[in-house]
Structure 1
Amino acid sequence: MMRLLSLLSGLVLMTLAQAHDMVPGAPQTQSILLKNALVHTVINGSQANTDVLLEQGKITAVGPNLPAGDAQVIDLTGKQVYPGLIALNTFLGLTEISMVRSTVDTAEVGTLNPEVKAAVAFNPDSELIPTVRSNGISHVQVVPQGNGLTGQSTLVNLDSWTIVDGEVNTPTAIHLHWPTVSHWSGDKQKRAKQQEQLTKDIAAVRKAFEDAWRYSLALKAGTLTSSDIRWQAMAPLFTGEARLFAHADSQADIEQVLDLARQYQLKPVIVGGYDAWRIPEMLSEAGAAVIYPHVFSLPRRSDEPIDLPFRIPAMLKHAGIPFAFGFKADWDARNLPFAAGQSVGYGLTQAQAIDAITLSAAQIMGAEHLGAIAPGYSATVVISSGDILDPLSANIEAMYIDGRQVDLNNRHRQLYQKYLKR
């Protein structure tokens, strides 16, 4: 009995250690008028001395000198308003302390799990979430990790009681981590074994898609003789109701992904895409988009310029490839606006960088109501006193998600206040 009580006590303490105490905002009941701000609309440029009206969780008007009516008026003279930032390719909410195995639930066993849903494991009470959203990030894509077909990601807002009220309704996103060898051995025999295993892994992926495609044909024809949850999960890929998010970086791997997509008439999203700038014509032909997470990475090859990872976003933009910034991380996803800002110094304009962490990210996910400040869009906005792309001066002061105000307190601020009073 004592052992059981000790175990239960430990589980309770672990649960408390993984839960923040910030209360999600209440649904919007009163109209809010944000006045006299520099508003970065994304779709209509940046507008000075502009008002934004938030009603019932939606933006209903944007322009100068809007009538207040019975709205709560907030004067933002000297402040800036942005759409809520969207961090793609994260595993926020799937892990708490990376060195404590019981708090890590990022991947399923095996390499063929298209039916696995990241939403099932997402923890909306994670202590990491308040820290991330205090940098202006209102939504994240939660992605299952691993090898092969790892499952389905979900787009969530970062101020919710449960996954049910946090999950955003978007088309199904199925993730494929394309087989690759991260470090080829210099030993001839070991290298041959690596090549043999790689060939087998790629063949397994291709067979999985062939089996899933044939299953979808039988499903459509009504001639199924048995059911398979894996192929059932992949069936929407072949009808256009789901999108393939393929994780690949090298040109050879991306070309193989595009070949697979062409075979089954898919429009993939390339996640990683370090070499995507090398093959813009192939990407355009395939209707592919790119989620680029490598701004702060080192060059992959010894003969590449040291600043190439900074310049790739501008190269993608100039080539006309739809792209958004990603950040493969949990707590470190808070640096998303910093990554976008870094690219401004290497070819992107500020407007293009903001677009790549707001509207373009929303469009890639199929969330048509997010990512811009315009009538009809979600009342999801961030208020700052400085440039949101500059971590030293951004100073995020407020956030609204669907019109409800978010508590921006977090563990970092609590510790700062604690030791400030020492």
Structure 2
Amino acid sequence: MKKTLFALSLGLFSCAALAHDMVPASAQSQPVLIHNARVHTALNGVLDATDVLFDKGKIVAIGQQLSQEGAKVIDASGQDLYPGLIALDTSIGIVEVEMMRASNDAFEVGDSNPQLLAVSAFNPDSELIPTIRVNGITHAQVVPQGDALAGQSSLVSLDSWTIEDALVATAPQFHLYWPAIRYLSKDNEVAAKQLKARDEQMTRLAEQLEDGYRYYLADKAGTVQKLDNRWQAALPLYQGKASLFIHANRSEEIERAIAMTRPYGFKLVFVGGYDAWRLADQLGEIGASVIYNRTLSLPLRKDEPVEMSFKIPALLKQAGVPFAIGFSGDWNARNLPFAAGQAAAYGLSKEEALKSITLDAAKIIGVDDMGAIAVGYRANLVLSKGDILDPAASKIDAVFIDGRQIDLNNRQQQLYQKYLKR
């Protein structure tokens, strides 16, 4: 409880001291008709010269020569219309300045914190948010960082007055950072200590998962003698009503994670997943999916080709592993569409690249009315004069979240205009 209150107090401090001055948009008050756009549906291909009508935050019609009395008409001739992008595995809104501890609420101490909610420290007024949504990102998964069981993530809208306004309902999302050795020392004595420490971490993790399972059995039988906030919060995970996001990259880590969690029947999502394409059969057997977040990174191993990280989304697709592309971090999450574009340049089709940051991202976090332009889906839309996946061509003119047109101004643009006048 003290940790949660501490995180909340830091979040309130951040809101007061580091707030942008863009006013959140009001609820959609009239129908909007986007006319004659090239519509990238992410569900039914690309539709040329097509109209999209949305009202009360939902898409109500898609076709040609649509009309609606009282609608605001936007002529999108020569422009592209995309679904709003969904940024997975981010610390948006919980980190303002990475090196300033008072504005960095991403980490918590301890290795058993399934009860902690990262969104409790989310700052909807973060200066970073307007700089991210200007690239077409409408929603973000706010993820806790830490050791082992680090807490729970949430999906938020990037235009809101409060945390409650921002939250999008999803099943609970628990995060486990798998014990790993980043660089194994060439010194045998040091390497032995590293391996011993990792094995001890794995033993503790196995004990924690078993403690949670025993608490679940006791709760199921009605024999819980003492309430434990940690395992009470984790009950949906053992009940099959939540997903466990395991942060792991190497084959050995992924295989060990599968083996350790298999007895509990968890719904698994691997975050990172650098080697996941090599383990397609094992992942398929348990129905696991992947959030790949290294598209713009260097290879994991020194003997791999420099373009290896760029190719992995295509390799995941070829292997039949369900995946989405994420971009871990805070301010640099704005590069998400360009990471997808990089994957498209190395074997993934452009349509699949777009799906990996829209529809497939929504599926992985269990949202069934986002990530595509289709009747009944939320009106999260991005209107651009160029390819949204190409940093040289993308020029976003309008962003809508739940039918509300968002102010695309931000501090960087304000400073740019200011210093043009010197």
- Give the TM bin, normalised by the shorter chain: over 0.9
Residue in structure 2 matched with residue 355 of structure 1 by the alignment: 355
Residue in structure 2 matched with residue 226 of structure 1 by the alignment: 226
Cα 1:17/1:45, change in 2 over 3 Å = same
Q: CA shift at 1:421, angstroms?
A: 2.1
CA deviation string 1:238-290 (max 9, x = no partner): 21111000000010000011112321111200000011111110111110000
How does 1:374-389 map onto structure 2 within 5 Å?
374-389=374-389
Where 1:53 maps in the other structure, the secondary structure is: strand
Q: Give the counterpart letter for 1:340 in structure 2.
A: A
Where 2:234 maps in the other structure, the secondary structure is: helix
Does structure 1 residue 208 correspond to structure 2 residue 245? no
CA distance in 2, matches of 1:15, 1:352: 37
Where 1:171 maps in the other structure, the secondary structure is: strand
Residue in structure 2 matched with residue 272 of structure 1 by the alignment: 272
Where 2:170 maps in the other structure, the secondary structure is: coil
Residue in structure 1 matched with residue 119 of structure 2 by the alignment: 119
Residue in structure 2 matched with residue 396 of structure 1 by the alignment: 396
CA distance in 2, matches of 1:297, 1:416: 29
Q: Give the counterpart letter for 2:67 in structure 1.
A: P
CA distance in 1, matches of 2:163, 2:16: 18
Residue in structure 1 matched with residue 295 of structure 2 by the alignment: 295
Contact 2:15 2:123 in 1 (8 A): no
Q: CA shift at 1:27, angstroms?
A: 0.1
Does structure 1 residue 128 correspond to structure 2 residue 128? yes
CA deviation string 1:15-51 (max 9, x = no partner): 6551000000000010001110000111111100101
CA deviation string 1:45-91 (max 9, x = no partner): 11001011111010011111112222111111011110000000000
Contact 2:242 2:267 in 1 (8 A): no
Residue in structure 1 matched with residue 197 of structure 2 by the alignment: 197
Residue in structure 2 matched with residue 6 of structure 1 by the alignment: none
Q: CA shift at 1:235, angstroms?
A: 1.1
Residue in structure 2 matched with residue 106 of structure 1 by the alignment: 106
CA distance in 2, matches of 1:375, 1:278: 37
TM-score of the aligned structures, taking structure 1 as reference length:
0.96
Q: Give the counterpart letter for 1:328 in structure 2.
A: S
Residue in structure 2 matched with residue 65 of structure 1 by the alignment: 65
Q: Give the counterpart letter for 1:65 in structure 2.
A: Q
Residue in structure 1 matched with residue 166 of structure 2 by the alignment: 166
How does 1:133-172 map onto structure 2 within 5 Å?
133-172=133-172
CA deviation string 1:306-334 (max 9, x = no partner): 11100000000111111001111100000
Does structure 1 residue 34 correspond to structure 2 residue 40? no
Q: CA shift at 1:13, angstroms?
A: 10
CA deviation string 1:88-122 (max 9, x = no partner): 00001111111211111111111110100011000
Q: Give the counterpart letter for 2:144 in structure 1.
A: P
Q: CA shift at 1:14, angstroms?
A: 7.2
Residue in structure 2 matched with residue 4 of structure 1 by the alignment: none
CA distance in 1, matches of 2:349, 2:164: 37
How does 1:16-27 map onto structure 2 within 5 Å?
17-27=17-27
Does structure 1 residue 45 correspond to structure 2 residue 45? yes
Q: Give the counterpart letter for 2:199 in structure 1.
A: T
Q: Give the counterpart letter for 1:182 in structure 2.
A: R
CA deviation string 1:341-375 (max 9, x = no partner): 00111100100000000000001011111100001
CA distance in 2, matches of 1:410, 1:151: 31
Contact 1:280 1:319 in 2 (8 A): yes
Q: Give the counterpart letter for 1:355 in structure 2.
A: K
Stretch of structure 1 that moved more, 332-341 or 261-270: 261-270
TM-score of the aligned structures, taking structure 2 as reference length:
0.96
CA distance in 2, matches of 1:354, 1:408: 21
The 4+ residue runs of structure 1 with deviation greater than 4 A are 11-17
Contact 1:261 1:286 in 2 (8 A): no
Residue in structure 2 matched with residue 335 of structure 1 by the alignment: 335
CA distance in 2, matches of 1:13, 1:116: 19
Q: CA shift at 1:185, angstroms?
A: 1.5
Does structure 1 residue 187 correspond to structure 2 residue 187? yes
* % identical equivalent positions: 53
Residue in structure 2 matched with residue 88 of structure 1 by the alignment: 88
Where 1:61 maps in the other structure, the secondary structure is: strand
CA distance in 2, matches of 1:342, 1:333: 15
- Mind listing any 5+ residue stretches in structure 2 that lack a counterpart? 1-10
Does structure 1 residue 322 correspond to structure 2 residue 322? yes
Stretch of structure 1 that moved more, 381-390 or 232-241: 232-241
